[in-house]
Structure 1
Amino acid sequence: MNRFVTVAIPALALLLAGCASSGPTRVAQAPVVSQPAVVAQPLVPTTAQTVQQARLTTSIANGFVDPAALNLMTAKDSSEANSAQFYALQFGRPGAPRQWAGDKGTTGSVAVGPYVRVNNLDCRDFTHSVKISGADYVRKGTACREQNGNWNVVQGAA
């Protein structure tokens, strides 16, 4: 009898295992709820968007450079100074001047202070120095970034 039980139990187990796997296998799946597509929009414009918008109207002729120097500057000088002024205001570290060079030895630098929030606008103090034919021209002031991204001088001093 003991021998019969030893052989019968494993044979019965194999028989039952064969029966269980002979039919089609069905797996129950829980219902899937699809999520609505969410498009992530940045809260602030990207750097490329900000640069493109602000460069359209940021101009050193609007009080960023001493008017006496502005009258002596060439188109290349103005372009280089304008670019340096914009990038210093937009991305510059406080106290780290941004240098520029134009035609015929004309050079300049723009230094900015930290961002200060005034009337819900980002503002920065700036110092724009221009050197033309050995003469130095310095313009200091405060510029604020308007809601459209453009920088405008709100206070200037020679």
Structure 2
Amino acid sequence: MMKFHIVISLLAVVVLAGCSTTSAPKSNGGSTLSKLTGGSKQAATTGVLAALGNGLIGNNPSLDASDRKRALQAEYQALEYSPAGKTVEWKNSSGSHSGEVVAAQPYQVGSQNCRQYTHTVRIDGTPQSARGTACRNEDGSWTPLT
């Protein structure tokens, strides 16, 4: 009878262990935030932003590579972290180019989270706005819908 109780107790421990959770997030080589902000994983930053392509700003010849990166980082920040309607701003070092991204409420398409968003870019004070939609990939990157 004692063996029966031990076996049942061990079985209960095994079953309950399968139901436990941890509060630590899954890691895939660095947090999404460190990927975005250029933490120690520069290649990962490129991967998360690369999924956005040229984003809503397109391949505007008035923006240099640094401006594009700031703009894409703002798009990613708005899509991944910002509450609906909150503005994420960016500005180049000279202040001649800037922008703001505003994402709407997330919604589900199948198993993916998607968001509509607006990106307004100011080049020498002249605003240009574009609207689009992007869906979140399993790796944390966002892909614009075309």
The TM-score, its normalising length taken from structure 1, stands at 0.63
SS at 2:86 equivalent: coil
2:57 pairs with 1:75? no
**Could you say which residue in structure 2 is the equivalent of 1:49?**
31
SS at 1:72 equivalent: coil
Contact 2:100-2:121 at 8 Å conserved across structures: yes
Opposite residue 56 of structure 1, the aligned amino acid is G
Structure 2 residues without counterparts, runs of 5 or longer: 36-43
| CA RMSD across the alignment | 3.2
SS at 1:108 equivalent: strand
Contact 2:51-2:142 at 8 Å conserved across structures: no
Choose from 107, 117, 120 the match for 2:98: 107
1:66 is displaced (CA, Å) by: 3.0
- Name whichever of 125-134 and 53-62 sits farther off: 53-62
Count of residues in Structure 1 that have an aligned counterpart in Structure 2: 124
**Could you say which residue in structure 1 is the equivalent of 2:86?**
96
1:113 is displaced (CA, Å) by: 0.3
**Could you say which residue in structure 2 is the equivalent of 1:137?**
128
The Cα offsets for residues 51-98 of structure 1, whole Å up to 9 and x where unpaired, read as: 436762324962523336x32112221221121111110011111111
Determine what percentage of the aligned residue pairs are the same residue: 23
The Cα offsets for residues 85-112 of structure 1, whole Å up to 9 and x where unpaired, read as: 1111001111111111113321100000
Structure 1 residues without counterparts, runs of 5 or longer: 1-30
* Distance in 2 between residues matched to 1:61 and 1:136, nearest whole Å: 21
* Distance in 1 between residues matched to 2:26 and 2:113, nearest whole Å: 15
Contact 2:52-2:142 at 8 Å conserved across structures: no
